[in-house]
Structure 1
Amino acid sequence: MFLSSNPLSMRVYTIAEKQLLDVHCRGFMLFLEQIHVLNLETREIVIERIMALDTLDLQIEDLKWVVLMVLFNTPGCESSYKKMEELIFDLNERVVH
């Protein structure tokens, strides 16, 4: 697989990917790339793992857990995993009950 390292390049999603990953999920993945939680390779692994799920109703919370699992299982991504973990749990703590 060829991944462009050009910072101006943009990921074009297939029709099937767009059907499973709504605009909020795709936007969240772009945000994770911009804050250096995901890189090109880990983004593609996340998309591949999402597409392998047996679901037609993917929620953004599901995406967050897949990202965590990919980062946890990818050597050298310890700091990204920590950032993602902090992001998830910090956002959840801000919710007022």
Structure 2
Amino acid sequence: MLLLCVHRLGYVLPVEICVNIISLSAGPISGGRSTYARKRRARSIGRCWRCYRVYPPICNSKCDNRTCRPGISPNYKVVTFIRGWSN
């Protein structure tokens, strides 16, 4: 990518500018707000995307990953990460 930036359009750009462009263009990996993004983030930490419980469950659980609802007081850090809210 750096070589493409340096030799762009037939002239040479300074390397500092190229590094700055590349660092600004790379956004956060898990920044989506869709349900697909929520499911992906929940799967990455081993939680259900609907009720925020551990999934797959260790023993009998209220979570079936289809009709479950959040409990009375879910872990706020987990909810924030899965829903994609900023701090």
TM-score w.r.t. the length of structure 2 is 0.28
TM-score (norm 1): 0.26
Please identify which structure carries the higher helix content: 1
Q: Which protein has greater RCO, CA pairs closer than 8 Å, 6+ apart?
A: 1
